[in-house]
Structure 1
Amino acid sequence: MTRRLPFWPTLIVALAVATMIGLGTWQLQRAKWKEGLLARYAVARTLPVMAFPAVPVEPETLLFRRATGYCLQVTGWSAKAGRNMAGESGWRHIAACRTGGGEGPGMQADMGWSNNPANPAFKGGPVTGIITEDRQKNLILVAESPAAGLQRSLPPDPKDIPNDHRMYAVQWFSFAAIALVIYAVALRKRLRA
């Protein structure tokens, strides 16, 4: 008498294992992409100082570049959580700047850090720093020289960007292997019965 594998449970496990292997493979592809991106960011730090862009651009092409811009007038302030060069928690003071001509997006400039969220006295002027972005993908120029009364904000560093994709791939492949082992044990018990 031949014993057949149960169709539906075998199909479900096969589909689940194929999905997990696919996700693991995708994470390996993401790891390779992230490594290239981080290498590009490391090179960006060594490039010459550029002018802060006057028109909207893809943030990925400018992150970690040194740039200079001119804040003609501060049109607003925001205080966001951040750290200073000593690693202390406090407030980053971000100036929304008018850059002239009424064209383009203007400029967001991180003018420094303090433990007080009150707006600094900075009214405008030249700003040189490193380009980063906020969660909405808006470019921010992190000033190398803070405004009066502020300390320098911790500048962005590509080393702070995690690349955990290989670890996620190992997890997905492990889940697939565990699912196969559990199913094999269940089948063995069923066939014995």
Structure 2
Amino acid sequence: MIGLGVWQLQRKADKEALIALYERNMAMSSLVSYPELPPVPDAMLYRKSSVVCLEPVRWDPRSGTDRNGGKGFRMIADCRTGAEGPGVLVDVGIGDGFAPPKWTGGIVQGTIVPGPEQPGMIARAMGKASPARAMLVADTPVAGLRPSAVPSADDTPNNHLAYAVQWFLFAAAALVIYILAVRRRLRP
């Protein structure tokens, strides 16, 4: 348990470095080429980019927030970008219903963020996780939609210190239980 607590402290430092990288990325103003294949390197997340969506092949409305804090449904288009390949996920804005907008594609400029579907811990541990896709959140929404709130580096959780304290407390509780059990056994 102490080893797990130390491991969580190491992960805390790694996560702090990752958040610092994301913050540096957010401060950069130059556009980067959108990554062709997943997984997207951390150095590309929260950077500005643009893509050409030839046509949306599937819509995935999900709950979300606009830039003013209003609630609605994020309209995420799975766009075809060429003859083959995985395409690109584009958040084109927030609407009030499930109906996708009348958008047929085009050039989209925005911010690269982690996509809505991230592999779970168990799938990653078993080696069965497909690479996580990123998503481009459009700077300018399509007609009839509000601009989606852009996730930031501050949204990245770093609760590893709490996990470390939890493991150290478990170890302390186990030690107290062990001492009490030994004292009881040594009594005549």
Q: CA deviation at 1:71?
A: 1.4
Which among 65, 74, 90 is matched to residue 83 of structure 1?
65
Which among 105, 128, 139 is matched to residue 124 of structure 1?
105
Contact 2:73 2:98 in 1 (8 A): yes
Which protein has the larger Cα radius of gyration, Structure 1 or Structure 2?
Answer: 1
Aligned to 1:8: none
After superposition, where does 1:27-66 map in structure 2 within 5 Å?
A: 27-47=8-28, 48-53=30-35, 55-61=36-42, 62-66=44-48
Cα distance in 2, alignment partners of residues 88 and 181 from structure 1 = 51
Contact 2:9 2:161 in 1 (8 A): yes
Deviations 1:36-75 (A, max 9, x none): 111111111122111222x204323321111111112222
After superposition, where does 1:1-193 map in structure 2 within 5 Å?
A: 20-47=1-28, 48-53=30-35, 55-61=36-42, 62-100=44-82, 102-132=83-113, 133-136=115-118, 137-193=132-188
Q: CA deviation at 1:21?
A: 0.8
Question: Unpaired segments of 5 or more residues in structure 2?
Answer: 119-131
Cα distance in 1, alignment partners of residues 65 and 107 from structure 2 = 23
Q: Which amino acid aligns with 2:47?
A: R
Q: Which amino acid aligns with 1:89?
A: K
Question: Unpaired segments of 5 or more residues in structure 1?
Answer: 1-19
Cα distance in 2, alignment partners of residues 138 and 183 from structure 1 = 47
Aligned to 1:9: none
Deviations 1:73-125 (A, max 9, x none): 2222111121112333321101122223x143222110000121101011111
Q: CA RMSD in A?
A: 1.5
Contact 2:39 2:133 in 1 (8 A): no
Q: CA deviation at 1:151?
A: 0.5
Q: Which amino acid aligns with 2:10?
A: Q
SS in 1 for 2:99: coil
Q: Percent identity?
A: 45
Cα distance in 1, alignment partners of residues 187 and 18 from structure 2 = 53
Contact 2:38 2:133 in 1 (8 A): no
Q: Which amino acid aligns with 2:34?
A: F
Cα distance in 2, alignment partners of residues 57 and 94 from structure 1 = 17
Deviant stretches of 4+, over 4 Å = none
The number of equivalent residue pairs is: 172
